[in-house]
Structure 1
Amino acid sequence: MADLAAELSALVANYSTAQLALASGAVLFLALMVGRLLFNNLPGKRPPVFEGIPYIGGLIKFAKGPWNLLEEGYAKHGEVFTVPVAHKRVTFLIGPEVAPHFFKAGDDEMSQSEVYDFNVPTFGKGVVFDVDQKIRTEQFRMFTEALTKNRLKSYVPHFNKEAEEYFAKWGDTGVIDFKDEFCKLVTLTAARTLLGREVREHLFEQVADLLHGLDEGMVPLSVFFPYAPIPAHWKRDRCRKQLSEIFAKVIRQRRASNTREEDVLQQFCDAKYQNVLGGRALTEEEITGLLIAVLFAGQHTSSITTSWTGIFMAANKDKAWNPAVEEQKAIIAKHGTTLSFEALSDMEVLHRNITEALRMHPPLLLVMRYAKKPFEVTTSDGKSYVIPKGDVVAASPNFAHMLPHIFKNPKQYDPDRFAPPREEQNRNYAFIGFGAGRHACIGQNFAYLQIKSIWSVLLRNFEFELLDPVPGADYESMVIGPKPCRVRYTRRKLL
């Protein structure tokens, strides 16, 4: 025994301090790995953990792309699973059975601020995700009041004017990319109806460049480190400062003028808080932040949905394009050639075409909340899980819309799925292209009118032919749009 002890002492002595440290570290790491695996598989009511390699598996899965993560996680665990990512846990709820609490709960239970506060450098201080729930609710009320039926009616002529003037510049035939064209047009429309006549008529190019700089400042790194010292963020901050200076001048002139405009800017200039902040009016910086927030919420989503609508209608002439053209003829016979609010509201075929494009390709792959309180969900096969306080909870409109037990043949473009008697969207939380519940998009009626205006002008004046196959979705982007697709247009008159 003494000899064995002596041999062990000699062996240890032969190792350097560094080697001992390395060996100890390896043992510790192995212990942590085993502990993590055991913890992930402890029995209980928490959702199953989808991680793979302990500590780094979640990061690797997100790096491969959220869509791959969703496919693999759903195939392995079903409607509810948790992915640890760095120091956070992201729990996914997939499908209408497990969605109710996500969409119905108030901010005191399922909060947006903790997961969307990376927008604060872009939107600015004192608005949306930089304020408490009561103030944010008041600010959303102000925007909702800018979208009443009468106000929407007043925006329709601006939608039509911008579309007609834009497409009048096209030739008799040519090749375009829908995404590029509609991004430009929707920016023009938004400038007139949201940012105001002054910006559209006198400051558009300058403001559009600055907004583009803000847009470029929203990169994947921004979600986790919005203040990281990188060139994209430096440019974002410069553009945000210049936009603030421009809008401050416009707002002061608007408030000093006796002229009233029909736009969202006017609504914000006139608005006052009701139950907070002493009932004061919005400051110039708050108005600027709200305008930017509204623009970011709607510009990309509208232009992308307009693009997908065109791509699918052009690829499905008998099912979508031809019925939409026939509907335009009927609308003209009933309402005349003017694209009024009432005429756009009567376009049920075009409405379904747009909705089906949005079902297949919602612009936002993930919508998220922060669980301030634990809650329980029950899956379609009766399994119950408790999602703990502190989890980031995510739903995916894109993935949920592709579940075959919710939408029949989900990969097939079929606008009639929304028509009687099928009405597949009527199941609670089945269609979530505009969100649902408490946080449903308050601008969806604005978006439908905008997109219908654009496509009504096009249906009455052009034919389209896809020169490439229907493109896939670009999941590398922050907002999910179509990959490039060449489209040939030919000018013609409907009547």
Structure 2
Amino acid sequence: MDALTNVQNWPATIWILLATAVITVTVNLLRRPAWPKSSPTLFKQGGGALPILGALRFFSDRRNFMVHGTQASRSGNFGFYFGKLQVVGMAGVEGRKTFFESRDLNLSEGYNVLFTTTPNPPSSVDEGGEDMKFDKFFSRALLAMLKRENFVRNLPTLVGDARAGLERAMTKHGVMDPFDDVYRIVYHLTMRTVGCTEIAESPEMLAKTLRLFEVMEESSSPTQVIFPYLWTPNYLRKMLAGGRLYYMLDAIVKGRKKTGRREEDALQFLIDSGESMVRILSFVLGALFAGQLNSGINAAWMFIYLAATPDWYRIVQREVDEAVEKHRKSEEQSPTDVLGTLTIDDWEHDFPMIDLVLRECIRFQMVGTTFRQNVSGKDVPIGKTGEVVPKDAFAVYLMDDVHFNPEIYPDPNRWDPGRYLPDRAEDKKQPHAYLGWGVARHPCLGMRFAKLEMSIIGATFVSMFDYELQDAKGNPMKTPPLPDRNRHSAHKPKTQMRLKYKLRA
């Protein structure tokens, strides 16, 4: 033992082995694959040549980095390193068509490596052959859960959850924080649909699990991409939060099996399918993150933008009032009573203006980039540009390249749902000019539920309240802040805003 603690007495062999190990690790960290000549120009001004780390601006200043890279390239496409990873930034019509249409560019592999906000499923979820890979299992399971019959069965409960959530959010001061109150309602409805009944019916468990999700979201870091095996404090926080969620769900599953109790929910569907606990947890986490990360933020912004845009406020209010009158069976029914009787067809066809409002909210809040990896084993041509995405390399596409392109959406910083009306149809000007619900090979699997969820929350809120926008001090607010377009995903704003409401007569 003394020989081990006294480094001065170590034999030369040990020192040689240690030195060899250090050199090997260092070389592996420093060594990158050479940048292919047929690929887009390497964007060195953006920090693409930094040793080991690569283009850190892709994480710290993403939107500006992508814009500058595009501007520095004749084709709009450019290359950079992130750690040891080769990445191609794609832009323009040719880049967009290749990015979203190519079978060789894999969405799941791109997000698993480059998107650090959501939890990645462990490798153990890929059980068996190609057909049993987690991404395919996830898609099949989600589509099965979101079938029409499940919507019909859960619809009265979802409407009741939205109403109860808004009633709980009411205060004696008549003020709501949509990024807390509405955000929680979205989480409740999403948990009800893709999670489990026990949590959906427990305010304490809802609050606890939501906080754990927020911890995981807040613990993202570029270190996970550059040094994937390094246990940083953020990595440990994310793992600890995920572990606590795992044990909560595991206890619920074991409780059902022990007592023979069954529920009509997504968790029961997965249990009956014979899935492993790791797969069940990975599915629930992935589905909740996909819903909450986007719908939770968009729902809150929907009311902010309506309060700041009187014309559209009146349009949506009139639409809701007309739907209530259309379906009212007796004078004793309150507006929320009437909404509770609507069928799935009513919800999907009676609120087209809410749908346009949501569409514009998504355009505004869909910040950052989307990801792919070339899994074909060969270079992938980028349209007619003469450039390629190298084999095994990653591809990224900036949402603002299309959503905030003034040639497609004039005055793009103006919130205007009228852009999508048939006489304007700005989203039809170019191929894949609107990405909010997915395009080409990757349509959004949860689109139908997300639209239903937004219609339920939007119509219920508007039927209950008249409201106006205020700042955190109670002063009237006419113009909400623009989103931080350098963020990586939809997010709560730094500027605090409130909705001053009163019950409608």
Question: Does TM-score exceed 0.5, indicating one fold?
Answer: yes
Gaps of 5+ in 1: 1-35, 272-280
Aligned partner (choices 105, 110, 113) of residue 102 of structure 2: 105
Aligned partner (choices 22, 41, 51) of residue 48 of structure 1: 41
CA–CA separation in structure 1 for the residues paired with 2:113 and 2:39 = 27
CA–CA separation in structure 1 for the residues paired with 2:390 and 2:141 = 34
The alpha-carbon distance between structure 1 residues 111 and 400, as it changes in their structure 2 partners (threshold 3 A), is same
Q: Does 1:285 align with 2:285?
A: no
Q: Does 1:347 align with 2:358?
A: no
State the shift of 1:315 in Å. 1.2
State the shift of 1:323 in Å. 0.4
More moved, 410-419 vs 174-183: 174-183
Equivalent in the alignment of 1:357: 361
Equivalent in the alignment of 1:127: 125
Kindly tell me the number of residue pairs found equivalent between the two proteins.
440
Alignment partner of 2:140: what SS? helix
State the shift of 1:331 in Å. 0.9
State the shift of 1:147 in Å. 0.8
RMSD over aligned CA atoms reads: 3.0
The alpha-carbon distance between structure 1 residues 288 and 259, as it changes in their structure 2 partners (threshold 3 A), is same
Equivalent in the alignment of 2:449: 446
The alpha-carbon distance between structure 1 residues 434 and 62, as it changes in their structure 2 partners (threshold 3 A), is same
Deviations 1:240-273 (A, max 9, x none): 22322221232234456666534322322233xx
Equivalences for 1:349-428 in 2 at 5 Å? 349-362=353-366, 364-372=367-375, 373-378=378-383, 383-426=385-428, 427-428=430-431
Alignment partner of 1:360: what SS? helix
Equivalent in the alignment of 2:22: none
- Report if the CA contact (8 A) 2:213-2:241 is conserved: yes
State the shift of 1:451 in Å. 1.6
Equivalent in the alignment of 1:140: 139
CA–CA separation in structure 2 for the residues paired with 1:192 and 1:406 = 38
CA–CA separation in structure 2 for the residues paired with 1:218 and 1:286 = 22
State the shift of 1:233 in Å. 2.3
CA–CA separation in structure 1 for the residues paired with 2:126 and 2:363 = 27
CA–CA separation in structure 1 for the residues paired with 2:439 and 2:373 = 17
Equivalent in the alignment of 2:499: 488
Equivalent in the alignment of 2:20: none
CA–CA separation in structure 1 for the residues paired with 2:270 and 2:195 = 10
Equivalent in the alignment of 2:466: 463
- What letter is aligned with 1:146? M
More moved, 436-445 vs 49-58: 49-58
State the shift of 1:351 in Å. 0.3
- What letter is aligned with 1:350? I
- What letter is aligned with 1:167? L
The alpha-carbon distance between structure 1 residues 242 and 144, as it changes in their structure 2 partners (threshold 3 A), is same
Gaps of 5+ in 2: 1-32, 329-337, 471-476
Alignment partner of 2:436: what SS? coil
Q: Does 1:91 align with 2:93?
A: no
- What letter is aligned with 1:171? T
CA–CA separation in structure 1 for the residues paired with 2:226 and 2:111 = 9
- Report if the CA contact (8 A) 1:356-1:415 is conserved: yes
More moved, 228-237 vs 343-352: 228-237
Equivalences for 1:307-346 in 2 at 5 Å? 307-318=300-311, 320-336=312-328, 337-339=338-340, 340=342, 341-345=344-348, 346=350
State the shift of 1:308 in Å. 2.2
Equivalent in the alignment of 1:214: 216
- What letter is aligned with 1:406? I
- Report if the CA contact (8 A) 1:374-1:388 is conserved: yes
State the shift of 1:60 in Å. 5.1
State the shift of 1:144 in Å. 0.9
CA–CA separation in structure 1 for the residues paired with 2:482 and 2:490 = 10
Equivalent in the alignment of 1:62: 58
- Report if the CA contact (8 A) 2:145-2:266 is conserved: yes
TM superposition outliers: structure 1 runs of 4+ over 4 Å: 117-122, 128-134, 255-260, 475-478
Q: Which has the larger radius of gyration?
A: 1
- Report if the CA contact (8 A) 1:214-1:236 is conserved: yes
Alignment partner of 1:285: what SS? helix
CA–CA separation in structure 1 for the residues paired with 2:239 and 2:181 = 27
State the shift of 1:312 in Å. 1.5
Equivalent in the alignment of 1:26: none
- Report if the CA contact (8 A) 1:193-1:262 is conserved: no
Equivalent in the alignment of 1:263: 265
Equivalent in the alignment of 2:183: 183
- What letter is aligned with 1:377? I
